[in-house]
Structure 1
């Protein structure tokens, strides 16, 4: 009897699912209330479903795929309510200082209990947060952070010194046993140690211990041990795979945990939440003991006059979270990428090392404490050094993903076309930087394009740190870290990949998820700049 009774309900459920997921999207497509049907689709089903975009995301090369499509189409519809742009003129319309666009729903869905500077949507709340932290991030304060960056660089050098092997003849392949440094891991240890010290006066000690084992904190006050990078990157990876059908993301995110592939990432995501909580708790205890420390946490607690900001604890933890995330991940990716590109392009490597040797005297190491750390002041204005950094950031921007913005209720004109309100629009940094009009031979590493007036003309199209009022507040610190580390290690060492045709693994989440980068390292002779080479 129960089977007979349940049959109509089962039929009704099936019909409801069929109409909601099949018939309703088709009706919406033909109704075309927002006029988006005029744009070419990423996939034939993109106009009625986000599933094709989710499938592309699972391939780990979302922006690379879009870049190829944008060679034919300036605007592409990637899902029913989302447009991707490939025309660089759209940068100003979408991200410019005067744009009416705001961050879209994806930021709300992936936020915690409180918004931080990077995911807050409301413009007034963002302005309040930015004002709170802008003085701490200002370029004039770099001198306050340089000694912390120098300390971490010295610790990196201690490890590299231990791993040095003998130089090898030009044109040969290193002994496998000599390829003993994972440069990707160690530069990530550097950025994590550096931002923890700059932001929280915290000594994580990853460079000293050679791993990223860290303590997390549960809501009940108990603690646990976990690996920082696994928790951070797998949390971001899960979001990048599943967030795209915005209205369904909370449900999909929960039920996906029953699938081992997603469940493992979900476990890392839960562990990640406790890491900034523990770091913030430890720093708060020091603050309550009366320690006045020169770091970002102090700026969160008090204004420059010493008056309390009275922020909610959840907001403080949220700001610590994004600082430890964005303040470490993207810079570490950039550091890995630039050495990789230089090793793949030995002519550029030679030119850069010659510039460094020409700017630094033999006694500079002693002047800088004898630890091998190059002073930022001595290299910050070197044009080719900066060009090498910027070209690496262009070729593989650490955040290749198109940062989505939502058009205002009254709509907006983008590239001269009216786009109604409530549409998600974006231009991927990877797509923008592969534009052959502004960046000829876009797939090649050519630092020279950033020199002189030509380089200045390219700046409006440079999206490595996003653009406009929501551009990365930490770009000055990132350049400080990248500049000091690259100049210091190239001044002191030669590097080589395991073989000339070796390629690094890249998986796109919101940022790049990079594989290991094993290298051979040796102390170089200052008189022979060719000791740094990428020919194997």
Structure 2
């Protein structure tokens, strides 16, 4: 009959429409997460959170949502962000029972753990002191030029990368000596981190295709940065293989370790990946913390005098030009440790909540029942800016760590997260 529509056309037309309507109704009204407040689009698709990461405003947006909506907010179709005094332990603690969400790429056992033993770290101190001395000499040279200013963000980057390079690969990368960052490594790591943070919130099926999403150069350029970092890591690995220094470093432990699954030696590709992860995670976080510390101390002359008085009391003048403060004494400087702790609290290097997956049967967290397969996260920034725990949380106040009751604050001081999956840098 003329003008008739075939059943196939009707099916192809209305099936997607019915699916979309059904998805909307379920996500907004029938989902077990419907009771949690959150942005409209966050309830429908994880791409809402991807967009916040792409704009580099995830922490700020999620923090504002908590201020507006309360302790628990929905930032994905099945992703709940919780800010509550007990949430950190119940999500990340040793007995929490939650596992990594799809945000993370699964890999085998970590062979780098022995490198962070007390014995290994003590053995590395002389090598670290060499880099600290180079850092001190560079700052003194820069200070001789009264017309110049010193960008401590850049300088702390140089120190952090050289220390991490020395620890991971047996020699510094040469940033302090050259006075610039070779290979464009700093910008590569920054872009890689931004892209991977956004990719982690995206559906697994979409991730490989973002390399070809040329409408927004953020994605292909970030993935090229990832490739560039892998190339750099491979070069460092090959150089370390050729130069038999006899000292132990991260690569030494990785090459000697075995896979937890099959007790076989870790493949070269995974050794390189582990080394890159350490270089990225250790350098950027260390430099950010140092820059925050210098920034706040430089703005407060009273704090400067107090810190200087403590140093003068412990380290009696005169001191040799090549002198570097031993860690055994530095770790006991009460004011300095308080200032460093406050720097990590005010601006934690990882401010977003690390994602975990609720196991079968569901779990009650901070008094809220969450179904199985819920993605849950606890924002580090908001946890350490809770005014009920840290009065005047936006103020840099090292004295908050000097009060007799400051021990209670440590329960909520989580710049490295907590539990057995906490950042290994806490050591």
- TM-score normalized by structure 1? 0.72
Segment drifting more, 440-449 vs 405-414: 405-414
Does the CA contact (< 8 Å) of 1:301 and 1:309 recur in 2? no
The equivalent position to 2:139 in structure 1, one of 160, 166, 181, is 160
2:252 alignment counterpart = 298
Distance in 2 of aligned mates of 1:30 and 1:436: 32
Question: Is the counterpart of residue 436 in structure 1 residue 383 in structure 2?
Answer: no
Distance in 1 of aligned mates of 2:158 and 2:408: 35
Distance in 2 of aligned mates of 1:241 and 1:145: 35
Distance in 2 of aligned mates of 1:207 and 1:154: 10
Distance in 1 of aligned mates of 2:268 and 2:405: 47
1:503 alignment counterpart = none
Q: Aligned in 2, Cα 1:24/1:272: closer, same or farther, shift over 3 Å? A: farther
The equivalent position to 1:143 in structure 2, one of 113, 122, 125, is 122
Cα offset, 1:140, TM superposition: 4.0
Distance in 2 of aligned mates of 1:267 and 1:86: 35
1:92 alignment counterpart = 89
2:288 alignment counterpart = 333
The equivalent position to 2:315 in structure 1, one of 360, 375, 383, is 360
1:57 alignment counterpart = 53
Distance in 2 of aligned mates of 1:86 and 1:337: 24
Q: Aligned in 2, Cα 1:451/1:193: closer, same or farther, shift over 3 Å? A: same
Number of positions where the alignment pairs a residue of Structure 1 with one of Structure 2: 416
Does the CA contact (< 8 Å) of 1:399 and 1:464 recur in 2? yes
Does the CA contact (< 8 Å) of 2:94 and 2:420 recur in 1? yes
Q: SS in structure 2 opposite 1:466?
A: coil
Does the CA contact (< 8 Å) of 2:307 and 2:335 recur in 1? yes
Q: Aligned in 2, Cα 1:137/1:19: closer, same or farther, shift over 3 Å? A: farther
Q: SS in structure 2 opposite 1:37?
A: coil
Distance in 1 of aligned mates of 2:23 and 2:361: 24
Distance in 2 of aligned mates of 1:264 and 1:9: 43
1:202 alignment counterpart = 171
Q: Aligned in 2, Cα 1:146/1:395: closer, same or farther, shift over 3 Å? A: same
Q: SS in structure 1 opposite 2:340?
A: helix
Q: Aligned in 2, Cα 1:144/1:45: closer, same or farther, shift over 3 Å? A: same
The equivalent position to 2:360 in structure 1, one of 390, 404, 409, is 409
Question: Is the counterpart of residue 104 in structure 1 residue 83 in structure 2?
Answer: no
Question: Is the counterpart of residue 26 in structure 1 residue 52 in structure 2?
Answer: no
Does the CA contact (< 8 Å) of 1:342 and 1:349 recur in 2? yes
Question: Is the counterpart of residue 227 in structure 1 residue 155 in structure 2?
Answer: no
Question: Is the counterpart of residue 182 in structure 1 residue 136 in structure 2?
Answer: no
Output one character per residue of 1:188-229: Cα deviation in whole Å (capped at 9) or x when no partner: 11111111111220232111011221xxxxxxxxxxxx3111
1:502 alignment counterpart = none
Task: Say which structure, 1 or 2, has more relative contact order (CA 8 Å, 6+ apart).
Answer: 1
Cα offset, 1:142, TM superposition: 2.8
Q: Aligned in 2, Cα 1:13/1:164: closer, same or farther, shift over 3 Å? A: farther
Output one character per residue of 1:474-516: Cα deviation in whole Å (capped at 9) or x when no partner: 223xxxxxxxxxxxxxxxxxxxxxxxxxxxxxxxxxxxxxxxx
Structure 2 counterparts to residues 33-52 of structure 1, below 5 A:
33=31, 35-41=32-38, 43-52=39-48
Cα offset, 1:31, TM superposition: 6.3
Distance in 2 of aligned mates of 1:453 and 1:135: 35
Q: SS in structure 2 opposite 1:70?
A: helix
Distance in 2 of aligned mates of 1:354 and 1:10: 82
Q: Aligned in 2, Cα 1:159/1:31: closer, same or farther, shift over 3 Å? A: same
Question: Is the counterpart of residue 212 in structure 1 residue 181 in structure 2?
Answer: yes
2:63 alignment counterpart = 67
Does the CA contact (< 8 Å) of 2:383 and 2:412 recur in 1? yes
Ranges in structure 2 where 5+ consecutive residues have no aligned partner: 1-6
Cα offset, 1:386, TM superposition: 0.5
Distance in 2 of aligned mates of 1:18 and 1:434: 44
Does the CA contact (< 8 Å) of 1:95 and 1:467 recur in 2? yes
Distance in 2 of aligned mates of 1:251 and 1:135: 34
Distance in 1 of aligned mates of 2:306 and 2:13: 67
Output one character per residue of 1:228-283: Cα deviation in whole Å (capped at 9) or x when no partner: 11211111112233432324541552332453343333322221221112212222
2:370 alignment counterpart = 419
Does the CA contact (< 8 Å) of 1:74 and 1:86 recur in 2? yes
Distance in 2 of aligned mates of 1:14 and 1:245: 27
Distance in 2 of aligned mates of 1:268 and 1:15: 43
Distance in 2 of aligned mates of 1:190 and 1:9: 66
Structure 2 counterparts to residues 207-286 of structure 1, below 5 A:
207-213=176-182, 226-286=183-243
Distance in 1 of aligned mates of 2:142 and 2:10: 67
Segment drifting more, 248-257 vs 403-412: 248-257
Q: Aligned in 2, Cα 1:10/1:286: closer, same or farther, shift over 3 Å? A: farther
Cα offset, 1:412, TM superposition: 1.4
Q: Aligned in 2, Cα 1:417/1:163: closer, same or farther, shift over 3 Å? A: same
Distance in 1 of aligned mates of 2:205 and 2:22: 15
1:504 alignment counterpart = none
1:521 alignment counterpart = none
Distance in 2 of aligned mates of 1:416 and 1:325: 36
